[in-house]
Amino acid sequence: MAEKMYGNLVKVDVDVDKKLVVVDMEMHADGEAYLLENGSKQDSLWA
């Protein structure tokens, strides 16, 4: 998975309250935006 993007780096954003994980996006902001658009709260996100 990481090889197609940034060598050994895998980007992940997590909603710790809903226990949701977004993996393998170009920028952390993309994963954050996806989670927020789907009902997550900013205070629940970890990147």
The structural domain count of the chain equals: 1
Per-residue pLDDT at 10: 84
For the stretch 1-47, pLDDT in tens is: 555 656 778 889 999 999 999 998 889 999 999 999 999 999 999 98
**Could you identify the residue written with the tokens 């226990």?**
19
Could you list the residue range(s) of the whole structural domain that residue 29 is in? Answer: 2-46
Q: Give the position of tokens 């009902």.
A: 39
Distance CA(34)–CA(22), nearest Å, equals 8
